[in-house]
Structure formats: structure tokens, C-alpha cells
Amino acid sequence: MKAILLIAASATALTACSYSSHGPAENHSVERSGLVASGDVNATGSADYSGMFVDAGGDIRRDLSLSGANVVSDARVGGDLNISGARIRFTGSVAGDTDIAGATMYLDGQFGGRLEVMGARATIDGDILGDLDAMGARFNLEGRFAAPVHVVGGGGNGRNGRVVLSGSLEQGGYICAGRVDIRRDAQVDGPLTIISDERPDWSGSFEYEALDGRNCEHVSRN
């Protein structure tokens, strides 16, 4: 019986989420941490969530920072967004710049500034109004990209990753990966440069260069 009570007490302590807020009403910031850090907030300042499992929502007038093994958020951010984690899902909106690093990422929101993504696999949907700068093993570009994209495939051991484009590139950009697939419903306006092992089977206009055994991370960009 004592062992059961000790286990229950330990579990309760682990799942407890610490909460703190500070600052005047016009710049009220919030911090949540614990094994599970979750909840909606209305912060006139910034917000910071950290834990094993993070679920953040609400309205944050300034910056939002999220870190955890599993991160989910549909928050509306008036400043910049920073996320780090293993599994990341973001479906909110960001007025400023966004920096995201993770193993598996699903992004489907409105990103008003620059979007920087680094990780193993990412699906990027929604409206991306600023430049996209992405590096990773596999990217699915499904959204509307209003500014130029810069995507570099990676993965270690000389592997250059894969990029699948089915969205809209309104100002073109640069993509380097071992394999680049362009779906029929993709739309590209503006100059697009693709460097890959084989030329993509697509009838649209783009400039192609053979990768020829090089590492995308070391290819110089003109």
C-alpha cells in the first residue's frame, strides 16, 4: 500500500505544472513548466512553455517560446515564435519571425515574417509571407509561399534528402536535394533554381543543375 501511495505521489509531482506571471498589465508575461505544460493564455507580454508535453494556445501580444518532446500549439502570436522539440505541430498565426527546430514537424498557419525550419521531416502548409529558410532530410511544401524559398536537403552520410513541392511559390527560390518532386498542382512564379540528382519531371519553368555527387550543404549559391 505504501508503495502504491509513493508511486501516486511521484506521478502527481511529475505531472504538476508550475505557473508564473509577472509584469504590469500592459506587458504581462507568462511562464509554464513541468512534465505537462499546457493551457490557453492571454498575455500582453511574452509567454514561455517548457516540458515533456507542451500544448499552448491563446493570444500572446509579444513573443512565444515553446520547448518539449511533444509540442502542440494554435496560438496567435503578435511577435516572434521559437519552437524546439521532437514532434511539433503548429496551426496558429505569427506576426513576426519564426524559428523551429525538431525531428517531425507539421506547420499549417499564417507566418507573417521569416520562417526558419531545421529538422528531419517537415510539412509546411498555410500562408508563409516572409522568406523560407529550411534545412532537413525531407520537406513537403504544400502552402503558399509569398517570398522566395531557400531549401537545402540533408540527412548526414552524404544523403541530400528529398523535397516535394505541391504548393505555390510566388517568387520562386532555390531548392537543393537528392530528389525533388514537383506535383501537377504546384504553381511557380518567379525564377526557381533546382539542384538535384535527376531533373524533376515537370513541365513548368525552372533552372536545373545536376548535383553530381556533391553535398547540398556545401554547394555554393550564386
- 3-state class percentages of the chain: helix first, strand second, coil last, to nearest 5: 10, 60, 35
- Where does residue 172 fall: left (phi above 0), alpha (psi -120 to 50 degrees), or beta otherwise? left
Indicate whether 6 pLDDT > 80. Answer: no
pLDDT for the residue numbered 17: 54
- Judge whether 85 and 105 are in contact, CB under 8 Å: no
Query: Is 164 a domain residue?
Result: yes
Query: Is 127 a domain residue?
Result: yes
* Residue for grid cell 545536376: 210
Q: How many CA atoms lie within 13 A of 53 on its CB side?
A: 8
Alpha-carbon gap, residue 74 to 92, rounded angstroms: 4
Query: Is 31 a domain residue?
Result: no
Query: Is 148 a domain residue?
Result: yes
* Residue for grid cell 501511495: 5
pLDDT for the residue numbered 21: 56
Query: Rounded to the nearest 5°, which phi and psi values hold at 4?
Result: -65, -40
Of 29, 139, 143, nearest in space to 91 by CA:
143
Q: What is the span of the domain harbouring residue 113?
A: 97-218
pLDDT tens digit sequence for 166-220 = 999 999 999 999 999 999 999 999 999 999 999 999 999 999 999 999 999 889 7
Q: Name every residue whose Cβ is closer than 8 Å to that of residue 190 and which is 6 or more positions away in sequence.
A: 148, 169, 170, 171, 172, 173
pLDDT for the residue numbered 119: 94
Query: Is 123 a domain residue?
Result: yes
Count of structural domains, the chain: 1
The average pLDDT across 60-80 equals: 98
pLDDT tens digit sequence for 94-112 = 999 999 999 999 999 999 9
Query: Is 151 a domain residue?
Result: yes
Banded model confidence at residue 20, pLDDT cuts 50, 70, 90: low
What's the gap between Cα 143 and its chain centre?
Answer: 13
Query: Is 75 a domain residue?
Result: no
Query: Is 189 a domain residue?
Result: yes
Q: Which amino acid is at 46?
A: S
Instruction: Report CA Rg, the chain.
Output: 20
